[in-house]
Amino acid sequence: PLTTTGELVTRAAAARAAVASFNVITLEHVEAVIAGAESVPAPVVLQVSENAVRFRGGRLLPLARAAVTAAEHADVPVALHLDHVQSEALLHQAADVGFSSVMYDAARLPYAENLAATRAAVDWAHARGLWIEAELGQIGGKNGRPPLDAHAPGARTDPDEARDFVADSGVDALAVAIGSAHAMTTRTAALDHALLKQLSAALDVPLVLHGSSGVPDGELTAAVAGGITKVNIGTALNVALTGAIRDFLADRPEAVDPRGYLTVAREAMTRAVARALQVLGATIA
């Protein structure tokens, strides 16, 4: 059934566990995430990023409708989340399409601008009952130096700045930069567990790990033990999808029916989802 991200995150936090949130681009991603979650079984978040919406011609509604319908018919709780939103116009569509949460991403901006933009997004989201996540990951954002991209491998969230940011913005969860980076195709990221400990002591909101595809299993479970409550996974599904299609077509250069390669692609993504949920120890509690 369709549930809310806030509900899943609150339950995970109470159990000192984490909820996995998977990025979906196609209908096959949606089906694979739900099938993987049902096979464990575990609750799951389906997230659609602004980049994915751009890929779909700027239209959120068709994929959102499919995801909501799939969630309603799932055997496990499924929540819908709008991910890495920079556009206000897209942010404002979230509530109308069945999404219960958004990640508003102004982390590229200098601190004061990130805070102001995030606070406006929080006011808007809370007025509509939406759970909202934001991101603070710059270093060198002060002293007039330009901020690092929030997910550059060297970027780190400063605990004192994060405490002020959470208090002043009113966000429900914070994405933190502790060593992961987006779009890694190998699991080789090293997380800064000492920093995570400081962040988790300084902040009373759930912490979110982005770029989790590049994080080794042991690092991931240590991060959850250290206070990460939402784990975002995207690229691992695309590695599985593309690898399966590449192998399928290499063996069958004459193939034309997409159902052949999309079937193996969806199965490969389903296995990747189940694997991630098993690493996280996710269960229906």
Binding status of residue 29 toward ligand G3H by CB under 6 A: no
| DSSP H or E stretch at residue 44 | strand 44-49
Q: Is 105 annotated as a binding residue?
A: yes
Q: Is 135 annotated as a binding residue?
A: yes
Which residue lies nearer to Zn ion by CB, 79 or 262? Answer: 79
Cβ–Cβ under 8 Å, residues 64 and 40: no
Binding status of residue 210 toward Zn ion by CB under 5 A: yes
Between CA 207 and CA 176 the distance in angstroms is 7
Which residue lies nearer to Zn ion by CB, 44 or 244? Answer: 44
Q: Is 113 annotated as a binding residue?
A: no
Which residue lies nearer to ligand G3H by CB, 199 or 233? Answer: 233
Residue among 241, 275, 273 nearest 74 (CA): 273
Binding status of residue 269 toward ligand G3H by CB under 6 A: no
Among 213, 219, 262, 269, binds ligand G3H (CB under 6 A): 213
Cβ–Cβ under 8 Å, residues 32 and 25: no
Q: Residue 29 binds which entry of Zn ion, ligand G3H, none, with Cβ cut-offs from 5 to 8 Å by kind?
A: none
Helix intervals (H) in the chain: 5-14, 27-39, 50-55, 61-72, 88-91, 111-127, 159-169, 193-202, 217-225, 235-251, 258-279
Both tokens of 187, joined, read 């699991």
Positions in 226-255 near Zn ion (CB under 5 A): 232
Binding status of residue 235 toward ligand G3H by CB under 6 A: yes
Is residue 204 annotated as a catalytic residue, yes or no?
Answer: no
Is the four-CA dihedral 224, 113, 59, 172 of positive or negative sign? positive
Applying CB under 6 A, the residues found at the interface with ligand G3H are: 23, 83-84, 182-184, 210-214, 232-236
Provide the annotated binding site for Zn(2+). Answer: 84, 105, 135, 182, 210
Which residues lie near Zn ion (CB under 5 A)? Answer: 210, 232
